[in-house]
Amino acid sequence: MPCEQLVPVAPGTDLWVGQHGDPEAPAVLLVMGAASSGLLWPPELVTALSREHRVVVYDHRDTGRSTGGSTYALRDLATDAVAVLDALGIERVHVVGMSLGGLLVQLLLLDHPDRLRSATLFCTGALGGAPGEGSAGPSAELLAFWATMAEPRDDDAELAWRVEHWRLLNGTGTPFDPAEWERTEQRAAAHAGGFRSALPHATADQSGLERGAELASVVVPTLLVEAPADPAYPPPAAAHLAAALGPAARLVTVPGMGHALSGAVLPEFLAVLTDHLSRSGRGARQHGEDATDHEEHRP
């Protein structure tokens, strides 16, 4: 079981945070996508990373066991990530962001580069205003499905809706296993005490995300994982983001990957992620940084 705690980030808003692995090891912060709790990270990925890292997962506002509080902007979710690090006494961290989590990590790269050892972004696109041409956006089929998000459903129908959502997000690059995603959603619902609505994130203020022109200033080593079958951020979304980031970025493709960390792509994804963490760790040591606890954590 993880070490768990609640972290206050705003009046009336507490975030659930779980930690895995050696608390003295270099930290990895996993930042999930919109309307998704930390329980959406595959347990196999968390377990593998925790062998050499202190792995931190958390529930965004209005997901899992976290509360929502007053009206907020999506950009506030990036500030939440910093609040989690402060509460845990973590000075610097490897950060991994999926989908909206990838946009939040870009804000961290711009506003808090001193807190990051490295960044990994996948199934995401560049912040608005980045130079060049991005992808055409989500598929028509996915947009039509999202339009049904707010329709009333009982628990059985909601579970079926979510599994179908994952089928669409998985894309056609790998076989889809509905039982895998049913287990995933049931695990997340058990953690949260039921199925929580995605509407608070869908309707949150999206201002403050038009900062793509600033990405060229990033110097933190950043891995971009291209998911060629992603229907939400299809190619060339990752290549566009890599170009916006410039020399700090390295682009790697996981064949067949869609907008989901399915068992079919997890081994390859984990291989490129752990390689990046290892490269970044070696680079930090070559620059004289000490990854021991007295350096890793705030006093």
Residue 293 has pLDDT above 70, yes or no: no
Domain boundaries along the sequence of the chain: 3-296
Residue 21 has pLDDT above 60, yes or no: yes
Peptide bond into 236 cis (omega under 30): yes
Annotated catalytic residues are 99, 230, 259
pLDDT digits (tens, 9 = 90+) for 31-67: 999 999 999 999 999 999 999 999 999 999 999 999 9
C-alpha torsion sign, points 120, 123, 126, 128 = negative
How many whole angstroms separate alpha carbon 165 and alpha carbon 142?
Answer: 8
For the domain covering 3-296, report its CATH number: 3.40.50.1820
Residue 95 has pLDDT above 90, yes or no: yes
- For 111, phi then psi, to 5°, come to -100, -25
Residues 34/198, Cβ–Cβ less than 8 Å = yes
- The distance in angstroms from the start CA to the end CA of the chain is 26
Say what the pTM is: 0.94
pLDDT digits (tens, 9 = 90+) for 103-137: 999 999 999 999 999 999 999 999 999 999 888 89
